């Protein structure tokens, strides 16, 4: 049953990547417990606008847990306290009346702050551009059953393809590693016949770009899998490592 709650927000405010940021405190009053976390921020921003103050900047787009645009660290947890949930699908019924909520951006050198809670995640785009594709001839699409794929491989490929590139894995990792993201993109193609031709070159290029972007190394903390809103498995990292080790063979 919906109810109204009052919250204290401690929000990270920062003008840009080069400026010094700080936490600022806001009151969120009469918040509908059935609204989403981003809808709650919308209401806070409306009050800030009315008061002639700068609204809180945060990333969002579809607000349906599909696009991967939203993301912030809520009370030390990426995307908030509910597992396998994006920030836009986190509802305020997860909090209690009188709670204090600390909200801050992803912390990673490879994800510089644009403003407040919004960070630049174009490093992921450059990793995809480095090799996250297959080279195929254009023309009429083949029938779905023309290339046989073992069901086990198809299921694993679909699991990897669920990655929405939100960057939660990077934010949760103590090393700010992008290994889960990259391995999901590598595995998606490595498990399918269409991805075999460029398999070795793909992993080589994507890992090289990942390192170039300044992400940290994986030390098997498994925080990435725990924070991933789609539950991407760390087994993809093992698959990517095996492929990478075989690049020179």
Identify whether residues 99 and 180 lie together within a single domain: no
Question: How much is the pLDDT for 137?
Answer: 74
How many folded domains does the chain comprise?
Answer: 2
Which of these, 241, 248, 249, lies nearest to 207 by C-alpha position? Answer: 241
Question: How much is the pLDDT for 248?
Answer: 63
N- to C-terminal Cα separation, the chain: 61
Residue 168 lies in a domain: yes
Identify whether residues 171 and 57 lie together within a single domain: no
Contact yes or no for 68/124 (Cβ under 8 A):
no
Contact yes or no for 129/213 (Cβ under 8 A):
no
Residue 144 lies in a domain: no
Rounded-to-integer distance, Cα 124 and Cα 42, Å: 27
Ordered per-residue pLDDT tens for the chain, 249 residues = 779 999 999 999 999 999 999 999 999 999 999 999 999 999 999 999 999 999 999 999 999 999 999 999 999 999 999 999 999 999 999 999 999 999 999 999 999 999 999 999 999 999 999 999 988 777 787 777 788 899 999 999 999 999 999 999 999 999 999 999 999 999 999 999 989 999 999 999 999 999 999 999 999 999 999 999 999 999 999 999 999 998 865
In this structure, what token pair is assigned to residue 166? 């939100």
Question: How much is the pLDDT for 135?
Answer: 85
Identify whether residues 130 and 231 lie together within a single domain: yes
| CATH number, domain with residue 53 | 3.10.20.30
Using a cut of 0.85, tell me whether the model's pTM lies above it: yes
What domain range includes position 164?
Answer: 122-134+149-245
Rounded-to-integer distance, Cα 71 and Cα 77, Å: 11
Identify whether residues 63 and 157 lie together within a single domain: no
Place of tokens 């020179």: 248
Centroid of chain to Cα 178: 10
Question: How much is the pLDDT for 136?
Answer: 75
Count Cα neighbours of 57 within 13 Å in the Cβ-side half-sphere. 14
| CATH number, domain with residue 227 | 1.10.1060.10
């Amino acid at each position: 049953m919906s109810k109204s709650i009052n919250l204290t927000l401690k929000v990270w405010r920062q003008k840009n990547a080069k400026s010094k940021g700080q936490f600022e405190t806001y009151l969120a009053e009469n918040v509908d417990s059935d609204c989403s976390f981003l809808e709650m921020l919308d209401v806070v921003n409306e009050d800030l606008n009315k008061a002639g103050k700068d609204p809180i900047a945060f990333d969002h787009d579809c607000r349906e847990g599909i696009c991967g645009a939203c993301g912030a660290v809520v009370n030390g947890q990426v995307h908030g306290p509910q597992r396998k949930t994006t920030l836009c699908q986190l509802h305020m019924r997860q909090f209690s009346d009188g709670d204090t909520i600390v909200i801050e951006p992803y912390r990673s050198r490879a994800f510089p702050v644009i403003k407040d809670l919004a960070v630049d995640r174009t490093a992921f785009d450059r990793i995809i551009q480095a090799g996250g594709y297959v080279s195929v001839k254009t023309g009429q699409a083949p029938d779905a059953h023309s290339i046989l794929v073992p069901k086990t491989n198809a299921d694993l490929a679909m699991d990897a393809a669920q990655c929405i590139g939100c960057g939660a894995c990077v934010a949760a990792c103590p090393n700010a590693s992008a290994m889960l993201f990259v391995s999901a993109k590598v595995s998606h193609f490595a498990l399918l016949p269409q991805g075999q031709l460029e398999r070795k070159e793909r992993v080589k290029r994507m890992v090289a770009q990942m390192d170039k972007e300044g992400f940290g190394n994986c030390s098997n903390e498994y925080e990435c899998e725990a924070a991933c809103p789609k539950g991407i498995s760390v087994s993809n990292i093992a698959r990517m490592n095996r492929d990478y080790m075989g690049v020179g063979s």
